[in-house]
Structure 1
């Protein structure tokens, strides 16, 4: 499979930030990626159909799977590409829909409460929890992890993702700009 790569340069708060956008020509789904100060962060669109199929195959009812698919879902990957351990706490990350104040990413705990209220079976809830991006993690050099994150934005609507991590006793931050939710027909 050949991927089309577009490099986007933006006015970042610190010099040296450059984001890359890759479009899968078969699906039209987009990945945004940035590398800075020892961290690589990727967001890859997951289509609503992919989301529905994934969760229904893990025991979610069509209604519960649809509830999750209404969110803007991304596969999130974090890699430690530096020489120091890094720590992240997803509670410190914020997304900023166009023209709106920053918002926290919905936690696994908040989703768990919703799934319990909707009567989602425990086995399906466990599968859900394992598929989500970890709330906190320490990455040694070379370590990486992935999982789903969700953003409450309209289909195709842009948002910026502000991510935060700690390395070498200092707090660092970065930003992916103009990320877009996958459309229904992706």
Structure 2
């Protein structure tokens, strides 16, 4: 009995739980810090449930892979976010298309989700385009179709007042959607 109890408690240790969830990844240079934190379907469902979202809308979020993105412009000039310059590709070479704000809006309108919920959801997403001033930070979620495959993000950030400065190229490998906790 003691052995079974000890084994069960061992399964709940923080080290084991951390291993079940992919770790956040950080890309950092003198100019930019980009952090990607995978969120499980359960985490996101709980977040939206806590804000009163209907079950049908929560079900839609469970089908997506969420990453919370944190960005920090560490330059002395403008840095430009444009998620059109972000490409996701599975390790076997297949493209993985991010789910756009427009695609989410179409889903919500098709199910007649009240505008207050649509607005709340939109507020949680990373802006598709944004200019960052020196030392400015921004964050939000980016969503992809749920997959069990590892994938890579390749992103380009323009710099300078008119986007004419040297581009910053980012590559983050071995990204994974977070699964649900046991």
Please name the residue that 1:166 is paired with: 158
Note the C-alpha offset of 1:166: 0.5
Q: Give, in angstroms, the shift of residue 79 of structure 1.
A: 0.8
- Which consecutive aligned stretches of 4+ in structure 1 deviate over 6 angstroms post-superposition? none
**What is the CA distance between 1:57 and its match in structure 2?**
2.3
Q: Distance in 1 between matches of 2:71 and 2:93?
A: 26
* Distance (Å, rounded) in 2 between the aligned partners of 1:136 and 1:27: 35
Distance 2:85 2:121 in 1: 22
Residues paired across the two proteins, number: 162
Structure-to-structure mapping, 1:25-174, within 5 angstroms: 25=15, 28=18, 29=21, 30-36=23-29, 38-155=31-148, 157-168=149-160, 169=164, 170-174=166-170
Counterpart of 2:127 in 1: which secondary structure?
coil
Separation (CA, whole Å) in 2 of partners of 1:109 and 1:121: 16
Distance in 2 between residues matched to 1:58 and 1:116, nearest whole Å: 18
Segments of structure 1 that go 5 or more residues without pairing to the other structure are: 1-23
Cα pair 1:52 1:62 within 8 Å, conserved: no
Which position in structure 1 is the counterpart of 2:181?
Answer: 185
SS in 2 for 1:162: strand
- 2: CA distance between counterparts of 1:121 and 1:27? 36
SS at match of 1:142: coil
1:37 CA displacement: 5.5
Which structure has the bigger radius of gyration? Answer: 2
Contact 2:96/2:145 (8 A) holds in 1: no
The structure showing larger relative contact order (alpha-carbon pairs under 8 Å, at least 6 residues apart) is 2
* Unmatched 5+ stretches in structure 2: 1-13
TM-score computed with the length of structure 2 as normaliser:
0.81
Question: In 2 relative to 1, CA 99–77 (structure 1 residues): closer, same or farther, beyond 3 Å?
Answer: same
For the Cα contact (< 8 Å) 1:42–1:77, is it kept in 2? yes
Q: Distance in 2 between matches of 1:26 and 1:142?
A: 36
More strand by share: 1
| 1:8-19 mapped onto 2 (5 Å cutoff) | none
CA displacement, residues 114-142 of structure 1 (integer Å, 9 cap, x when unaligned): 11102211100000010000111111111
- TM superposition shift of 1:59: 3.2
